[in-house]
Amino acid sequence: LRAVRLAARMNFMLDPETARLVRADSHRISQVSGERVRDEFLALLRMDGARAHLEVLDRLDLLCRIIPELAVTKGVEQPKQHYWDVWGHSLHAVENAELITKGHQNSPIYTQVPWNAETNEYFSQEVSDGHTRRTILKLAALFHDIAKPQTKKTDDTGRTRFLGHPELGATMAATRLSQMRVSSRGIAMVSKMVEHHLRPMHMMQGVDSPTRRAVFRYFRDVGDVAIDTLYLSLADHLAAKGPELSTEEWIGHARMVGRVLNAHEEALTGDGSPAGPGKLVTGNDLMEHFGLEPGPMIGGMLEKIDEARAAGEVTSKSEALALAGEALRNLREEE
């Protein structure tokens, strides 16, 4: 691993005899501590040209010893919407996660990506084991379809499906990264991105622009990696289409991501809380007004109010209390 990293850092090629010796002893990587493997692997992933570095690891019989789950992705064919098999798609997703977070680069493809100084600063934040969001995004891209081999099915119409692969993939990623001694935050970030990597596309299907309510729910559910997952969806798109990329579809996807980011920004206050300064009502307000005891019902009512406020449906305390009253009546009727 260190030989590959040093060669990559100095833009050298491994001597053929060195490469032969590495390959011959590749099985011994299992004897190396998880922390050392983690440090070398993430250092390699952090560098530019990550896909090429991963391919070198594979040629040396190291990559699938470090992440055995990748081995079974080789040769797993995908529907015609995908240019590469799952293996090739995963490696190209890493490459595109790297490229879309490098700025516009005077490229007709990457100039479509929503990007400014703040975005660059965001992806430069150190978040796990001394690594940035940019590196963790590349790690998520490598894992995002890891469960496709296990979930591949053909339905009655002959259509290939991978139902449940995001959820299973999140679990598989968390297990493998835990064994690699990645930090708990890094594991949580990657598994959350893997779990929700299809969410942006689902939010965008059939609409010119997602509703404010849909944007609110997305950021509520995906949390700390909601922005990262939007960019993962862009990398996924490019890696799916490869050289058959439709410019029109790509521009539509990139612009939709921009609209989601703008809608979220408009819904935030300076302190990052949703939909305007301060809360319309507090939990104490609800307990006093309706004579309720503390409990999960209060949290659920506050969440409904926040969502309605983000959608522009309530703007005052009285409207918030009216909405809470309606929710409370519905709950009591269900009981």
pLDDT confidence bin for 307, thresholds 50/70/90 = confident
Number of domains in the chain: 3
- Mean pLDDT over residues 267-271, rounded? 55
Identify whether 250 is part of a domain.
yes
Per-residue pLDDT at 107 exceeds 70: yes
Q: Are residue 148 and residue 244 in the same domain, yes or no?
A: yes
Identify whether 258 is part of a domain.
yes
pLDDT digits 0-9 by tens, 158-212:
889 999 999 999 999 999 999 999 999 999 999 999 999 999 999 887 777 888 8
> Tell me, what CATH number does 155's domain have?
1.10.3210
Identify whether 92 is part of a domain.
yes
Q: What integer pLDDT is reported at residue 335 of this predicted model?
A: 62
Q: Are residue 291 and residue 236 in the same domain, yes or no?
A: no
φ, ψ at 309 (rounded to 5°):
-65, -40
Identify whether 277 is part of a domain.
no
Alpha helix positions (H), the chain = 2-9, 16-24, 34-46, 50-59, 63-66, 86-100, 117-123, 133-143, 148-151, 165-179, 184-195, 199-204, 212-222, 226-241, 247-266, 283-290, 296-310, 317-334
Q: Are residue 253 and residue 201 in the same domain, yes or no?
A: yes
Q: Whole-angstrom Cα distance, residue 311 to residue 244?
A: 37
- Mean pLDDT over residues 22-29, rounded? 95
* Between residues 146 and 105, the one the model is more confident about: 146
Q: Which residue has the tokens 């064919």?
A: 77
Q: Are residue 147 and residue 125 in the same domain, yes or no?
A: yes
Q: Are residue 61 and residue 83 in the same domain, yes or no?
A: no
Per-residue pLDDT at 276 exceeds 60: no
Per-residue pLDDT at 101 exceeds 60: yes
pLDDT digits 0-9 by tens, 37-96:
999 999 999 999 999 999 999 999 999 999 999 999 999 999 988 999 999 999 999 999
- Four-residue CA torsion sign, 280, 286, 290, 295: positive
Identify whether 25 is part of a domain.
yes
pLDDT confidence bin for 306, thresholds 50/70/90 = confident
Q: Are residue 167 and residue 222 in the same domain, yes or no?
A: yes
pLDDT confidence bin for 153, thresholds 50/70/90 = very high
Across all residues in the chain, what is the average pLDDT? 91
Per-residue pLDDT at 272 exceeds 50: no
Q: What integer pLDDT is reported at residue 270 of this predicted model?
A: 40
- Mean pLDDT over residues 226-240, rounded? 98
Helix or strand or coil: residue 206?
A: coil
Give the Å distances, CA to CA, from 119 to 54, 124, 228: 26, 9, 10
Among 215, 235, 266, residue at a domain's last position: 266
Q: Are residue 228 and residue 260 in the same domain, yes or no?
A: yes
Q: Are residue 237 and residue 112 in the same domain, yes or no?
A: yes
Identify whether 253 is part of a domain.
yes
Q: What integer pLDDT is reported at residue 57 of this predicted model?
A: 98
Q: Whole-angstrom Cα distance, residue 288 to residue 196?
A: 38
Identify whether 71 is part of a domain.
no
Q: Are residue 50 and residue 183 in the same domain, yes or no?
A: no
Smallest CA-to-CA distance from 143 within 125, 167, 119, 113 is with 167
- Mean pLDDT over residues 250-266, rounded? 93
Identify whether 110 is part of a domain.
yes
Q: What integer pLDDT is reported at residue 139 of this predicted model?
A: 99
Among 241, 266, 291, residue at a domain's last position: 266
* Residue 312 belongs to domain spanning: 283-334
Q: Are residue 56 and residue 164 in the same domain, yes or no?
A: no
Q: What integer pLDDT is reported at residue 206 of this predicted model?
A: 73
Partners of 274 in beta bridges: 268
Contact by Cβ (8 Å): 191, 170: yes
Smallest CA-to-CA distance from 186 within 269, 109, 256, 125 is with 125
Q: Whole-angstrom Cα distance, residue 219 to residue 296?
A: 21
